[in-house]
Amino acid sequence: MTFRIPFYIKALTAGLLFCLVTGLETTTLAQSVNKEDSSSSGTIVDFYNRHKITSDEPGIHEFSFWGGYSFHSTNGVWGQTTGAELGVMGFRYNRKLLRFSNNYLLKYVMEMNLHVQYHLSGTTQNVSASSLSGFGMTPIGFQLNFRDNHVLQPFFKSSAGFMHLTDPFPDKRGTKFNFTLEVGGGVEIKFTEHSSFTLGYKYHHMSNGQFGQVNPGVDSNVFYGGITIF
């Protein structure tokens, strides 16, 4: 079987790269207008070199423990399974990448979903009531914090990865291995110099990317909270 990456994984990756490149170019050009030094090339590399966060800066690495819950799933953008509950808890690693305009902080995000629990109510046609557990990982992720260096920092976050369940989703016609996509935001509340508390929401999608006989998918509204140490 030829491996196929779902279109929404490709779209997320392309979208993140486009936003990052476009944002960096726009900021670079805006700053170049005010510079008297005409020798500046105005490239993305120049911007990165000026605003990158070096490895010797304190707090560059962040470690979070978090948990969240979705009370119901919706017949949403991709998912067709309704009435599914989702509980998840995990570990997150953030690496601060760029700080610019004295207001924005861009982080790379990788999450390990240590435990995932789905409860399917059976309200969707051809999907029986059941309970599925598993784990997952999101190796592709970015978070943009606003109001950097403030106590309250709103943020936007998006990531993509996979989830492996103990049983096929939604039943034997599906697969144990599924792809995930999530997008959302929240607020990071810094309460000491080396720790913060996060409250957030994410729209979480899971499906098998057409590898199974059926692919109903499930879209969940996950509310979560966590503690970050850096």
Q: What is the pLDDT along the chain (230 residues), one digit of tens a residue?
A: 444 545 555 555 555 554 444 444 444 444 443 443 434 446 888 887 888 998 888 889 999 999 999 998 988 788 888 989 999 999 999 999 999 888 999 999 999 999 999 999 887 767 778 899 999 999 999 999 999 889 999 999 999 999 999 999 988 999 999 999 999 999 999 999 899 999 999 999 999 999 999 999 999 999 999 999 99
Count CB atoms within 10 A of the CB of residue 8.
18
Res 134: pLDDT: 97
Checking 120-128 for CB contacts under 8 A at 24+ apart, the result is 120/81, 120/83, 120/84, 120/170, 121/82, 121/83, 121/84, 121/85, 122/83, 123/82, 123/83, 124/80, 124/81, 124/82, 124/83, 124/216, 126/214, 126/216, 127/81, 127/170, 127/171, 127/216, 128/170, 128/171
Res 125: pLDDT: 67
pTM score of the predicted model: 0.78
Question: Which DSSP state fits 71?
Answer: S
Question: Which DSSP state fits 197?
Answer: E
Res 18: pLDDT: 47
In angstroms, rounded to a whole number, what is the distance separating the alpha carbons of residues 165 and 176?
A: 5
Residue indicated by tokens 């920092």: 153
Burial class (CB in 10 A: 0-12, 13-18, 19+), 156: middle
Query: What do you get for the CA distance between the two ends of the chain, in Å?
Result: 43
What backbone torsions phi and psi does residue 208 show, to the nearest 5 degrees?
Answer: -95, 5
